[in-house]
């Protein structure tokens, strides 16, 4: 089995313009065919859209996120073919693993894709992103999840994550009410110095998270929600 590539990654890193001189197909127009949310590969002739490859500029990923539904961008490329109208067609699915070798991307330039998944050198002007996620409950598991969120912020957003869960639990006991209150107060003070808050709400919003969101809104710090599907694509 091998992992499929997400559509948002494929669109960013495939150099379609290298193929525009090909007489066999027209890559100035790209068609995306996608299944409905209840099926993995049930395609319909009415369920597709097309875009002109030259419509996108240098910052492709940002433009994709602004114009294409996050559900579709989060799907995985399952097949690529030229249809009867000589239009390059990309089929996507919600299944992220493939059992055979029927997905052949070797002819498409993906240079930079693997590099993008590593932590690149950060810019001098770096944003501070506050990680808003739950801690209580399975504390060890929630701290591990917070670490993954931090990795995401560094690798994908090229920003500095601010995550009290990781810092203060080293010396404060969240099961001790006094120490928990101290930790929350410290966290809110850190939040007030950040440029943005990302709420990782895939497992709901805890009472502590609500306080963080309320503070951010009260001092006009932008708040984004993971459930919107946008941050998962950055």
190 to each of 17, 120, 165, how far by Cα in Å? 45, 25, 12
Please indicate, yes or no, if residue 123 is contained in any of the structural domains. no
Please indicate, yes or no, if residue 222 is contained in any of the structural domains. yes
pLDDT value, residue 210 = 92
Same domain, 50 and 108: yes
At residue 86, the 3 state secondary structure works out as coil
Q: What is the pLDDT of residues 48-70, one digit of tens each?
A: 878 776 544 556 666 777 777 77
Same domain, 53 and 106: yes
pLDDT value, residue 163 = 93
Name 199's Cβ contacts closer than 8 Å, sequence gap at least 6: 132, 133, 205, 209, 213, 223, 224, 225, 226
H or E segment to which residue 207 belongs: helix 207-218
Q: Is the dihedral of CA 167, 169, 174, 177 positive or negative?
A: negative
Rounded to whole angstroms, the Cα distance separating 192 from 222 reads 11
Taking 70 as the threshold, does the pLDDT of residue 34 lie above it? yes
Taking 70 as the threshold, does the pLDDT of residue 114 lie above it? no
197 lies in which domain range? 128-233
Q: What is the pLDDT of residues 124-181, one digit of tens each?
A: 568 899 999 998 888 888 899 899 899 888 887 888 999 998 888 888 888 888 988 8
Share of the chain above pLDDT 70, in %: 66
Please indicate, yes or no, if residue 122 is contained in any of the structural domains. no
**Of 116, 136, 158, which marks where a domain is finished?**
116
Same domain, 38 and 112: yes
Taking 70 as the threshold, does the pLDDT of residue 104 lie above it? no
pLDDT value, residue 212 = 93
Same domain, 133 and 107: no
Please indicate, yes or no, if residue 121 is contained in any of the structural domains. no
């Amino acid at each position: 089995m091998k992992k499929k590539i997400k559509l948002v990654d494929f669109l960013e890193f495939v150099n379609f313009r290298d193929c525009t001189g090909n007489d066999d197909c027209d890559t100035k127009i790209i068609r995306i065919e996608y299944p409905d949310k209840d099926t993995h590969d049930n395609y319909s002739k009415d369920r597709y859209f097309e875009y002109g490859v030259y419509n996108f500029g240098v910052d492709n990923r940002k433009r994709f996120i602004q114009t294409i539904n996050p559900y579709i961008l989060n799907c995985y490329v399952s097949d690529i073919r030229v249809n009867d109208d000589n239009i390059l067609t990309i089929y996507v699915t919600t299944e992220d693993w493939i059992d055979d070798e029927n997905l052949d991307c070797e002819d498409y330039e993906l240079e930079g894709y693997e590099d993008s998944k590593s932590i690149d050198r950060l810019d001098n002007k770096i944003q501070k992103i506050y990680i808003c996620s739950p801690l209580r409950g399975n504390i060890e598991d929630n701290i591990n999840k917070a670490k993954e969120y931090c990795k995401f912020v560094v690798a994908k957003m090229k920003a500095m994550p601010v995550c009290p869960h990781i810092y203060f639990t080293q010396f404060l006991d969240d099961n001790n009410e006094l120490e928990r209150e101290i930790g929350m107060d410290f966290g809110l003070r850190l939040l007030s110095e950040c440029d943005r808050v990302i709420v990782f709400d895939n497992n709901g919003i805890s009472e502590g998270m609500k306080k963080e969101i309320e503070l951010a809104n009260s001092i006009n710090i932008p708040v984004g929600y993971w459930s919107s599907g946008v941050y998962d694509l950055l």
